[in-house]
């Protein structure tokens, strides 16, 4: 049976997705604080919410008495209180799969940039130093002979691992439980993985359990030639501990595409010459972002047509079953 109602669309976020939503559904475009100021009838008319990265808090969910579905833009959905939504009987969906390859490509690029200092070498050329000062200094780090540990061997982590195989490096991983479809060595703890590798690639989601999982102790286990790459969630890394480790030489370098308080990046990381920093661009190509937006639309369209949304999050998948 088809369902009816208005779709709340967050004002900030991916503009192509927002434009497509407006064409497809009866939409109300507003940020959460404006929703709280709506009258009761206006809030009661909203049955769907397309969040293009705006937070979906328990108070917002409770303010929408007839909310049925939250369709979130992005594979990570830590900005949505999915547990509270499930308790209210509200379906939450996200956009996995369609960005896996793009993020994995970026992770490899970020790793190479961090090890070989390629962005700094380009700046050297553009500033005329190649002509005035000679060749760019030899980089102390290389990918050759490294052991790469992947924290979070899900879809994206596996795509990263498959790409790394072509570089001839050793690969290991840590998950909550081992996978049965890979032969990479499994470590039952993050500490064990860090002890066994010199390069740690974090693709872990941002949860209460993973917050600051990569702390001073983990960084120390990587050793003075250690390198950290994070394309998962910024909250997984203790950024203060990381800045201290980079300054003290506890590890050699870090490459980050995500941060705990985006778009605010700690000054200590900005000042670190051995940190390669990107503004959360791992999935930021036109084609990939449009594919993510289309999945936001497809989840809503399926629900309002009376069908099963294609990509519910685990916390609310049981509501559909």
Q: What is the pLDDT of residues 137-176, one digit of tens each?
A: 999 999 999 999 999 999 999 999 999 999 999 999 999 9
Please, which contacts does 135-144 make with residues 24 or more away whose CB atoms are closer than 8 Å? 139/115, 140/252, 141/114, 141/115, 141/116, 141/117, 141/225, 141/227, 141/252, 141/253, 142/115, 142/116, 143/111, 143/112, 143/115, 143/116, 143/167, 143/169
C-beta separation of 56 from 72 below 8 A = yes
Backbone angles phi, psi at 43, to 5 degrees: -70, -35
Q: Peptide bond before 263: cis, by omega within 30 degrees of 0?
A: yes
Residue of 31, 122, 209, 262 marked catalytic: 262
Angle at the Cα of 102 from the Cα atoms of 101 and 106, rounded to 5 degrees: 115
What whole-number distance in Å separates Cα of residue 278 and Cα of residue 118? 13
The pLDDT of residue 61 is 97
| 146 labelled catalytic | no
Alpha-carbon distances of 66 from 50, 90, 143, 208, 259, rounded to whole Å = 15, 9, 53, 28, 34
In terms of Cα–Cα distance, which of 316, 186, 200, 294 is closest to 251? Answer: 200
What is the overall mean pLDDT for the chain? 96
List the domains of the chain with CATH numbers: 6-98+287-320 (3.40.50.720), 100-277 (3.40.50.720)
Residues contacting 91, CB < 8 A, separation 6+? 68, 69, 70, 85, 303, 309, 312, 316, 319, 320
Length of the chain measured in residues: 321
Positions in the chain short of pLDDT 50: none
In terms of Cα–Cα distance, which of 167, 168, 170 is closest to 185? Answer: 170
State the DSSP H helix or E strand holding residue 28, giving kind and residue range, or none if neither: strand 27-29
In terms of Cα–Cα distance, which of 151, 292, 175, 177 is closest to 232? Answer: 151
The DSSP code for 136 is: P
| 211 labelled catalytic | no
C-beta separation of 47 from 3 below 8 A = yes
The DSSP code for 165 is: H
What whole-number distance in Å separates Cα of residue 237 and Cα of residue 104? 19
Residue of 88, 163, 211, 280 marked catalytic: 280
The pLDDT of residue 321 is 63
What whole-number distance in Å separates Cα of residue 245 and Cα of residue 72? 35
3-state secondary structure of 60: helix
| 262 labelled catalytic | yes
Residue of 84, 187, 233, 289 marked catalytic: 233
């Amino acid at each position: 049976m088809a369902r009816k109602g208005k779709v709340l669309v967050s004002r900030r976020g991916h503009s192509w997705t927002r434009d497509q939503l407006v064409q497809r559904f009866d939409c109300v475009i507003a940020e959460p604080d404006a929703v709280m100021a709506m009258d009761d009838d206006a809030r009661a008319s909203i049955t769907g919410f397309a969040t293009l990265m705006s937070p979906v808090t328990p108070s917002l969910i409770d303010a929408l008495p007839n909310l049925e579905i939250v369709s979130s833009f992005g594979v990570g959905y830590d900005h949505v209180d999915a547990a509270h939504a499930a308790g209210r009987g509200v379906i939450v969906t996200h956009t996995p799969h369609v960005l896996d390859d793009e993020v994995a490509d970026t992770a490899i690029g970020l790793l190479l940039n961090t090890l070989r200092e390629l962005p700094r070498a380009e700046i050297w050329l553009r500033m005329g130093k190649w002509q005035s000062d000679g060749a760019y200094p030899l980089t102390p780090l290389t990918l050759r002979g490294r052991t790469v540990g992947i924290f979070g061997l899900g879809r994206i982590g596996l795509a990263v691992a498959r790409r790394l195989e072509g570089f001839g490096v050793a690969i290991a991983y840590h998950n909550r439980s081992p996978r049965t479809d890979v032969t990479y060595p499994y470590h039952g703890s993050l500490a064990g993985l860090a002890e066994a590798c010199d390069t740690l690639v974090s693709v872990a989601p941002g949860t209460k359990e993973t917050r600051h999982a990569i702390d001073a102790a983990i960084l120390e286990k990587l050793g003075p030639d250690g390198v950290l790459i994070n394309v998962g969630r910024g909250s997984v890394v203790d950024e203060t501990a990381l800045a201290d480790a980079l300054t003290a030489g506890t590890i050699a370098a870090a490459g980050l595409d995500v941060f705990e308080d985006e778009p605010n990046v700690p000054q200590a990381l900005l000042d670190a010459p051995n940190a390669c920093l990107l503004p959360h661009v791992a999935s930021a190509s036109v084609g990939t972002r449009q594919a993510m937006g289309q999945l936001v639309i497809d989840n809503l369209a399926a629900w309002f047509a009376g069908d099963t949304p294609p990509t519910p999050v685990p916390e609310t998948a049981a509501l559909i079953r």
